[in-house]
Structure 1
């Protein structure tokens, strides 16, 4: 806490004398507009909560290899990498099915999202993203289940309408030293006054990831990927727009490096890993204050995950396949209830159909033997809700409050127990009060209640999962959270600073409980139950300061402390103290950006961490790495170079199954017309 105190004092002192009228530049931090927190446009400075925004400019500068890596260095976000073809973001110590991911307002989370790190964020092509918004500590009222730690909202790029018909294109080529990446991307955009069309394709080849000074090449970890996307905008009449979009990602032979390296597997990979999303969205504005703006979205999303497993010295190969088909319908209405009173209200429904099977076969020449997959085949999961979020502005005070009523219907047919139907429900709310002492500062306190409904992964999993043999569980209730936060935001044209303290109480947590005296093939047997309580508290701070017309410095620091109150031990996989500090220079299209990332040692380990072979004995060592970014951006082309880990430090983010990249250069060349 002393770090946050002195950090705040430093910022307040350096603020004096700056930001006067006539400054030619502004800090970006806290000046961006967010739509995630309250399902309506609002300056992040005015939001009574912690929001981080990764703009298209930052994405262009960093040129992230993957969508998870686009979140590296974001305040309050810690990225774990089980393997090179994965990446799971921790928001305030929580990840997996306890963190919600949205694409253009549509849930990526489905009924098979599992507890702990997963790979699904990596199934989003970073070339399609125009902006990322991260709401830390909230999201259940606005978006429903899973937002215990927060919400990650990925907003894809849109074509634009133009008065005169025009065609534009872009071609991107990227290469990394050591053959770690060879990517090409081509896209085109046709615009007119009533219609705009955008389409693109990405072909990506990832070689084995090369670690730091003592690690070297981590093989096998490379894989191939082919992505396609298009988006069509139709201007129906003034204020009304129809959008049709599609995106698909197809990844082949994605190895789980740590399992092959540490667990005697000849093959352990995702092959294939696919995701497709199509949606139709109607937006419109009216003259009625109670229906100022409305949005209706219909979506269809499919995921296909096959896991190919074969141990060394064995002829038996297993292929587990899970397919989830999700259709969704959401309706949102923005209203002006009164002069200083706005509301965002709506309804949504999502329905999952889960197909799951397993094939065992002797290689070569054996006949395939089909059996039950990881989940009961033809499982169904219905998610429906009503919500309303309100904001009232009275002089310097802003009151935000809202609620959501959410219901579920889960239908599972089990070979032993027969047909099982469960209908859990949740009622959650949030409230926040903000006070602006001046036009440059904002002080707030907020409360968010959140929930995660039990899903098919919780209720129907059977088989070996995370070093255990798991039995189905059919009497689970939603997990609950109560997140309290106080924060302060300060901004001028040259300077911006935000800090927050939070405390998140978690209850009814679903965890695996051992079935006493039972083993299957020598492996202990577990079943999930709502038996745990926990709390996570911490602090975050972020700043940006313009040193002149061309120079700025920036930094962030985040800390979380988790306690499992039921077992009197730390919460699993809690990230250590971590942060980033950098300096940037921009002039006439050129930029240079040296920066350092760090994480301290994490030796507060739960029993599950101690048995996790991804975590070294004694805990994950601390590390500091230095990166250098440089580039030139012109009207028709740009060149971006990222030199990572200049000191070739051998490091691993806590809980990862593969080490971070060593000294390397990633070069991206973009041509535009």
Structure 2
């Protein structure tokens, strides 16, 4: 069937292809293709927009034609047909020092100027990623100053968007949904599986995105777009990076080979991280906060608690990771492209650091607590067709499969039994997205369908590390197998009814099926044999953008989102914190969010831009952890400890509100940027604060750029979060905080980059200049101390 589909698409592309002139547009500095550039033939109505490969197709040009090539992030270029022909119909654009607007893709899954989008969207392009040299994709988001990231361990990162996190925010890579049936409600660390070094662009869409993305997109959507193969182009990039705080050693290689019809892109990354060293300058009132005064080593067949000679080195936090990406593209015609993507990520054991620092009766609680090698393999096949028909001007078909394995391995202090629980997830997905322009391109219709199917297998065993003997233990999820299915259809409409006003609206219907089978009654005698969900949800959105004056843009948006229970919600038994155990609740229902958002973008002259966004969300039937009865008991034994029973329940209602502000000021080669983010939220039934609401945070960054040199000085800030503002689940983690809560902190960072000719770039950084000891809210590990970073990049 796949062969027939490929053949049909190739023949269709050849049939619909109208030959013309292809113009390729690239970035003058890094030679990467420029997507979204408008190529216009002056004096005529002929124009085209470059695709992801930087190519625009025009009808046959004449010798006397003049062209204008423009992009929001680049300086406009005027050229002629004869000049283009002399340069092989390739042009290079010069990037602006500061980008006050951009093209975004995550709002409608198609390219759209940000000024037409009512929701708040931020973008990080390849140039910014390369400059700041983040170690992981979690650090990439932190560098924006607009996303708060929690870390339970060095090998982790759980983004919080407007008081939502984990399985209440969406993670998308190359159009494929990464959220799967076991994405949990606690802090989620899956983002590190994505290789920041292979990314072309990252976007964060704030607020519910359920119309376009379905279940889980309640707080926002993080879309990662990796680099794509380029036709008629051969190039390579290699770099090495060193960071002192965790003795990071990273090597990376990119290779692109492209002919007229075929293109191949390969990306390889290996990173090794030693134990992380935290800052030595502690908060004045908490001189011992975060110190690692002891650790556990095994010697002579027993576990020994040892004194740490340097309490700022967070012993047993290091790990290693490998990433591979392979992409193949075939251009059947200028209007039809077929693509194959492969992403693979694997790691060594990743220590769960926040568990390794727990103690009981002045003795370590655990000798080991590791996430076993995390494996993620994603393969996808795509068809992109830009041949206009009565149904669509262009469409994309995306089929994907993901294979994920997760292991949790823990062993208590001086206990020879290591408990291992392993989950295997297979996730299949199909997306068909179409776009149609109506009435002289003033109106656009975006619509499509989606089908997702997940299976989950869960196993548990105990291994005696002295004798090698093994025995079964309880599984994390129902042992009889689990299935999660989502079927959906959506439509979104955008109408620019005047030059200054744009209206958008969207509607989606999603139906969710879930089945979990409990077959083993040895460990827990559940009062049920299966748990099932069969539910549907309508979601809608409405947006309005107006420019009442030339320098002012006002935005208003209303949107709804939902999250249906997944296997993690409905079928999991685990310990959430010391002394508690979470059990399945088969009566769990979906939760819904209703979001209102107002935004102002104000240009103050030609140099200053201010953006302010206020939002308010109401949750209905919110899923939160609460005390629960299991077989009539409020406490049961679990993993050798008598624990209070909890379960996810629908509390009824909650609210989240907040404000974000962004300021940009450009003066010749200088650019000043500032971000400030404030969020608050409460469960309105229990009057308890919500868990994933971060404290006030932001940053202020001054950047200088002159020719091939760029440098920046940044101040990053995080306010206090007092214990009175903690949720009950956070209050149960006293070992992570001071007696008053999570302290405020501020650090200074410096980055520098110089591009030598066209073959070499050197990046240097000095982060946390004053060696402050700090720990972001909810994190289980303290942040890096003074950190020297050096990377050398070569291009060939």
TM-score normalised to structure 2 length: 0.79
Alpha-carbon distance between aligned partners in 1 of 2:576 and 2:245, rounded to the nearest angstrom: 34
Cα separation, 2, equivalents of 1:589 and 1:142: 40
Q: Any conservation in 1 of the 2:584–2:647 contact (CA below 8 Å)?
A: yes
User: Match for residue 422 of structure 1?
Assistant: 533
The answer for the alignment partner of 1:380 in structure 2 is 483
Partner of 1:662: 785
Query: Could you tell me which residue of structure 1 aligns to residue 362 of structure 2?
Result: none
CA RMSD of aligned residues (A): 1.8
Which residue of structure 2 aligns with residue 67 of structure 1? 137
Residue of structure 2 in register with 1:197 after alignment: 264
Cα distance in 2 for partners of 1:538, 1:421 equals 36
**Post-superposition offset of 1:289:** 5.4
Cα shift at 1:490: 3.1
Q: CA deviation at 1:57?
A: 1.0
Name the CA distance, whole Å, in 2 between partners of 1:337 and 1:353.
Answer: 41
Q: Please say if 1:268 is aligned against 2:369.
A: yes
Runs of 4+ in structure 1 off by over 4 angstroms are 21-27
1:242 and 2:338 matched: yes
1:22–1:56: structure 2 CA closer, same or farther, 3 Å change rule? closer
**Counterparts of 1:434-583 in structure 2 under 5 Å?**
434-467=545-578, 468-491=580-603, 494-516=607-629, 517-521=633-637, 522-548=642-668, 550-583=669-702
Deviation at 1:103, TM superposition (A): 0.5
1:286-305 equivalences in 2 (<5 Å): 286-288=387-389, 290-305=391-406
Moved more, 380-389 or 171-180: 171-180
Pairing partner for 1:337 from 438, 447, 451: 438
SS for the counterpart of 2:139 is helix
Once residues 371 and 447 of structure 2 are traced to their aligned partners in structure 1, the CA distance between those partners, rounded to angstroms, is 40
> Displacement, 1:198?
0.7
> Could you give the per-residue CA deviations for residues 512-541 of structure 1, whole angstroms, max 9, x where no partner exists?
232354322211112222124211111111
Alpha-carbon shift at residue 48 of structure 1 (Å): 0.8
Moved more, 494-503 or 187-196: 494-503
Is the 1:102–1:151 contact (alpha carbons within 8 Å) kept by the matching residues of 2?
yes
What corresponds to 2:253 in structure 1?
A: 186
For residues 441 and 243 of structure 1, what CA distance do their matches in structure 2 show?
Answer: 41
Q: Is the 8 A contact 1:615 1:656 kept in 2?
A: no
Q: Which residue of 1 aligns with 2:731?
A: 610
> Deviation at 1:601?
0.4
Instruction: Tell me which residue corresponds to 2:299.
Output: none
Quick one: distance in 2 between partners of 1:123 and 1:305? 12
Instruction: Answer whether contact 1:279 1:299 (CA < 8 A) is retained.
Output: yes
Q: Distance in 2 between matches of 1:30 and 1:49?
A: 16
Report if the CA contact (8 A) 1:100-1:151 is conserved.
yes
Matches of 1:381 and 1:171, distance apart in 2: 41
Distance (whole Å) between structure 1 residues aligned to residue 186 and residue 246 of structure 2 = 31
Shift of 1:197: 0.3
Deviation of 1:497 (Å): 2.5
Q: Which SS does the other structure have where 2:378 is aligned?
A: strand
Partner Cα distance (2:95, 2:165) in 1: 37
Deviation larger for 612-621 or 573-582: 612-621
| Deviations 1:174-218 (CA, angstroms, capped at 9, x unpaired) | 111255201111221111111110112211111111101154211
Match 2:503 to one of 392, 399, 402: 399
Matched, 1:48 2:118: yes
C-alpha distance 178-28 of structure 1, shift in aligned 2 (>3 A): closer
Asked if the contact 1:29/1:544 (under 8 Å) is kept, the reply is: no
SS of the equivalent of 1:424 reads: strand
Partner of 1:367: 469
Kept in 1, the 8 Å contact 2:103–2:114? The answer is yes
Q: CA deviation at 1:138?
A: 2.4
Q: Is the 8 A contact 2:245 2:785 kept in 1?
A: no
Cα distance in 1 for residues equivalent to 2:145 and 2:387:
38
1:485 touches 1:500 (CA, 8 Å); kept in 2? yes
**Does the 8 Å CA contact 2:245/2:784 hold for their aligned counterparts?**
no
SS where residue 31 of structure 1 aligns? coil
Matched-pair contact (CA < 8 Å) for 2:598–2:614: yes
CA distance in 2, matches of 1:149, 1:400: 20
Counterparts of 1:143 and 1:81 in 2: how far apart (Å)?
A: 26
Aligned residues: 649
From 278, 281, 305, the equivalent of 2:379 is 278
Larger Rg: 2
The correspondence of residues 167-186 of structure 1 with structure 2, limited to 5 A, is 167-186=234-253
Query: Which shifted more, 210-219 or 247-256?
Result: 210-219
- What is the CA distance between 1:131 and its match in structure 2? 0.7
CA distance in 2, matches of 1:268, 1:241: 46
Q: Hey, what's the Cα distance between the residues in 1 that align with 2:593 and 2:257?
A: 46
Partner of 1:122: 192
2:37 maps to none
Q: Decide whether the 8 Å contact of 1:573 with 1:654 is kept in 2.
A: no
How far apart are 1:26 and its partner, in Å? Answer: 4.9
Q: Deviations over 1:561-582 (max 9, x none)?
A: 1121111121124111111101
Residue 176 of structure 2 is matched in structure 1 by 106
1:140 is aligned to 2:210: yes
Q: Distance in 2 between matches of 1:321 and 1:137?
A: 33
Contact 1:181-1:207 at 8 Å conserved across structures? yes
Deviation of the 1:29 alpha carbon: 4.0
Distance in 2 separating the partners of 1:156 and 1:539: 30
Give the CA deviation at 1:402. 0.4
Are 2:399 and 2:431, in contact at CA under 8 Å, matched by a contact in 1? yes
Rounded Cα–Cα distance in structure 2 between residues aligned with 1:243 and 1:366: 47
